[in-house]
């Protein structure tokens, strides 16, 4: 299946796309700087720097469970 509608691919998001998507879904402003900090702290990215929504969410849950993530 090809993505011909130029929509957002949740398996290959850039930081800005992820920030917009999470902000829209949560109703809380999530800025790109927060996601960039998460990537610097070890959030998973693809070889091209893209972020997979589900992998990022799983990483956040793991970090929260370990007490390493800021829940705010």
Structural domain boundaries, residue 51: 15-66
CA distance 38 to 36: 5
Q: Is residue 55 one of the residues assigned to a domain? A: yes
Q: Is residue 54 one of the residues assigned to a domain? A: yes
Structure-block tokens of residue 42? 């070890």
Q: Is residue 48 one of the residues assigned to a domain? A: yes
pLDDT at position 72: 46
Q: Is residue 6 one of the residues assigned to a domain? A: no
Q: Is residue 22 one of the residues assigned to a domain? A: yes
pLDDT at position 68: 81
Q: Is residue 35 one of the residues assigned to a domain? A: yes
Q: How many domains does the chain have?
A: 1
What would the pLDDT profile of 11-47 be if each residue is shown by its tens digit? 999 999 999 999 999 999 999 999 999 999 999 999 9
């Amino acid at each position: 299946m090809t993505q011909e509608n130029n929509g957002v691919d949740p398996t290959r998001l850039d930081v800005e796309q992820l920030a917009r998507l999470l902000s829209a879904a949560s109703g809380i402003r999530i800025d790109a700087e927060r996601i960039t900090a998460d990537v610097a702290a070890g959030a998973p990215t693809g070889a091209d720097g893209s972020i997979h929504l589900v992998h990022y969410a799983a990483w956040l849950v793991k970090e929260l469970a370990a007490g390493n993530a800021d829940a705010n």
